[in-house]
Chains A and B, each alone.
Chain A
Amino acid sequence: MSKRLVWLSATSVTVWLAGAAPLRAHHSAAAIYDEGKTVTVQGMVTKIEWTNPHVFIHVDAKETTGQVVSWSFEGASPIGLYRDGVHKDSLKVGDTVTVVGVPARSVEHLAEIRTITFADGRKVFDRAGKP
């Protein structure tokens, strides 16, 4: 895992403040996503866009009706992921994954990534506890 070192003073570290807004550097997450909801989708990765300002992972998921639905999941920026140890080859087209995300408020089958878990339980895009 690639890690970047930053010289931070002890005084710059603060504790988590309850109620802080979702954080995005490029734009407010609330402009698109409904922070009050989550969605869990299981399917196969069909396309990876490892591009700025945010990566997109596309997943085909079979619904209970048998219909296949194509989801788009938006993630962080490639720079942020790279420095957090997540790389372009951390997942591949054809991988079977379970994605937990926050759905868009006005666009169907679009969500913001929380975690992506492989069939064997390994996780990528798991940013909990990370800066």
Chain B
Amino acid sequence: MTRTVAAALMSTFVVSISVHAQWPTGPPAGVVKTPASAERAPAPRTKDGKPDLSGVWQPERNRPCPPDGCRDLQTGEQFFDIAWGVKGGLPYQPWAADLVKKRISQNGTSDPNARCLPTGIVRYHTFPLLKKIVQVPGLLVILNERDSLYRQIMMDGRQPLPREVELPSPMGYSTGKWDGDTLVVESTGFTDDLWLDQHGSPLTSGGRIVERFRRVSFAKLEIEITVDDPKAYTAPWSTKLNQFLVPDTELLDYVCLENEKDVQHFH
């Protein structure tokens, strides 16, 4: 059914793409690209009938640029403030609230992202580069343009790890299982004091994140995240991160440390 719809759309809408001298400039001629059609078309499915989350995705970019243009990539509000849209804001522990105020006042100069360090799974959902989801039986892989990064979500039936593990990492360890058409991913095992946004909302090594991936249409992916981190927050909290399909490009490398010169000028 989905393939039929996609094929019909492809035969109906053709958009020409101008090509510059590098290969990831567009899909083969004839690929459908109209927002309205893509919004209406249902999510594709894999052979086992589950939604197929595969594709190149971009986070919602709903933070407007200044009148003279964005300084860099346009971002979403949640890249700066993960609490954007969270009623009442985040339930910070007192020390965490003080820390976020301090980080904002310092213009984020201690931000791991500014220092080209890995930033963890939440910020990779909001960082305005592209990511590619590859879904195969038993495994979902998310590739990211930022530093050619990968993330594995094990969907082979293994159990989630404890909150704290011997070898913590910025991406943590993720297991996933389907709840109807929603992929539920549980992650733990994070390194301490990751930043969830540019304001510096912390995630500690005791944090547990649940993501609920739902491809609501051919073109849109919703990821509801729930952060349960008693060290930093007085209660679990949730927010939704929208992602949109980017059908006419491929991943390009962004090596943050290639020629990083800015940190020396921070003050």
Report which of B15, B19, B267 forms a contact with A106, defined as CB distance below 8 A. B267
CB pair B256 A54 closer than 8 Å:
no
| Interface size range on B against A | 35 or more
CB pair B256 A23 closer than 8 Å:
no
The answer to whether the Cβ of B186 comes within 8 Å of any Cβ in the partner chain is: no
CA distance A31 to B64 in the complex (A): 20
Query: A11-19, A60-68, A91-99: which lies at the B interface?
Result: A11-19
CB pair A56 B73 closer than 8 Å:
no
Number of inter-chain CB pairs below 8 Å: 179
Q: Which residues of A in the span 11-57 have a Cβ within 8 Å of any Cβ on B?
A: 12-17, 20-32, 49, 51-54, 56
The answer to whether the Cβ of B25 comes within 8 Å of any Cβ in the partner chain is: yes
Indicate with 1 or 0, residue by residue over A79-112, a CB within 8 angstroms of chain B CB atoms.
Answer: 1101100010000000000000000111100101
The answer to whether the Cβ of B139 comes within 8 Å of any Cβ in the partner chain is: no
CB pair B247 A5 closer than 8 Å:
yes
Contacts of A1 in B (CB 8 A): 18
Contacts of B66 in A (CB 8 A): 16, 20, 22-23
CB pair B64 A15 closer than 8 Å:
yes
Chain B nearest CB, measured from A91 CB (Å): 15
Contacts of A9 in B (CB 8 A): 35, 39, 219-220, 244
Report which of A5, A10, A128 forms a contact with B15, defined as CB distance below 8 A. A5
- Given A53-B256, A130-B69: A4 in contact with B79 (beta carbons within 8 A): no
The majority secondary structure among interface residues of chain B is loop
- Given A12-B60, A127-B68: A28 in contact with B244 (beta carbons within 8 A): no
CA distance A32 to B260 in the complex (A): 13
Cβ-closest chain A residue relative to B247: A5
Report which of B33, B67, B73, B245 forms a contact with A25, defined as CB distance below 8 A. B73
Contacts of A76 in B (CB 8 A): 70-73
The answer to whether the Cβ of B58 comes within 8 Å of any Cβ in the partner chain is: yes
- Given A14-B64, A31-B107: A128 in contact with B116 (beta carbons within 8 A): no
CB pair A25 B72 closer than 8 Å:
yes
- Given A6-B246, A131-B65: A105 in contact with B267 (beta carbons within 8 A): yes
CA distance A112 to B66 in the complex (A): 14
Contacts of A31 in B (CB 8 A): 107-109, 114, 262, 265-267
The answer to whether the Cβ of B136 comes within 8 Å of any Cβ in the partner chain is: no
Indicate with 1 or 0, residue by residue over B172-216, a CB within 8 angstroms of chain A CB atoms.
Answer: 000000000000000000000000001000000000000000000
Sample of 18 further A-B pairs with CB below 8 A, known A31-B267, A56-B261 = A2-B17, A2-B25, A5-B15, A5-B33, A7-B219, A8-B60, A23-B65, A26-B256, A27-B266, A31-B108, A52-B259, A53-B116, A56-B259, A79-B145, A79-B254, A112-B71, A127-B68, A131-B65
Using a CB–CB distance below 8 Å, which chain B residues touch chain A? 15, 17-20, 22, 25, 33, 35, 38-39, 58, 60-75, 79-80, 107-109, 111, 113-114, 116, 127-129, 145, 198, 219-220, 242, 244-249, 252-256, 258-262, 265-267
